Amino acid sequence: MRSILITGGNGGLGLAIARCFLAQDSETRVWLGVRSNRARAEELAAEFSGRCLPVDLEVTSAEAWQSAVGKILETDGRVDVLVNNAGMHRDHLLATMPDEAWHSVISANLDAVFLGCRAVIPTMMRQRFGRIVNISSLSAVLPPLGQTNYAAAKAGVVALSQTLAKETARSGITVNSVLPGYIDTEALGGMDAEARKNAQRGIPMRRFGRPEEVAAAVCFLAGKDAGYITGAALKIDGGIF
| Catalytic status, residue 228 | no
DSSP assignment string, 215-232? HHHHHHHTSGGGTT--S-
Nearest alpha-carbon partner for 208 in 20, 9, 12, 22 = 12
Please tell me the distance from the alpha carbon of residue 78 to that of residue 114, in angstroms, as a whole number. 20
pLDDT tens profile 100-129: 999 999 999 999 999 999 999 999 999 999
Task: Dump pLDDT digits (tens) for 49-101.
Answer: 999 999 999 999 999 999 999 999 999 999 999 999 999 999 999 999 999 99
Mean confidence (pLDDT) of the chain: 95
pLDDT at 4 over 80: yes
**Residue 196: per-residue pLDDT:** 84
Sheet of 130-135, strands arranged across = 52-56, 28-34, 2-7, 81-84, 130-135, 173-180, 233-236
**Arithmetic mean of pLDDT, 118-147:** 97
Distances (CA, A) of 74 to 5, 51, 69: 14, 15, 9
**Lowest mean pLDDT across 90-94, 139-143, 197-201:** 197-201
Mean pLDDT of 141-162: 97
Tell me: pLDDT of 191 over 80.
no
Rg of the chain over all Cα atoms, to the nearest angstrom: 17
Choose the catalytic residue: 65, 102, 129, 150. 150
pLDDT > 90? residue 202: no
Q: What is the pTM of this model?
A: 0.95
Instruction: Quote the percentage of the chain above a pLDDT of 90.
Output: 86
Nearest to 9 by CA among 215, 216, 149, 232: 215
- Contact (Cβ atoms closer than 8 angstroms) between residue 76 and residue 26: no
Cβ neighbour number for residue 59 with a 10 Å cutoff: 24
Q: Give all domains of the chain, ordered by start, each with its CATH number.
A: 2-236 (3.40.50.720)
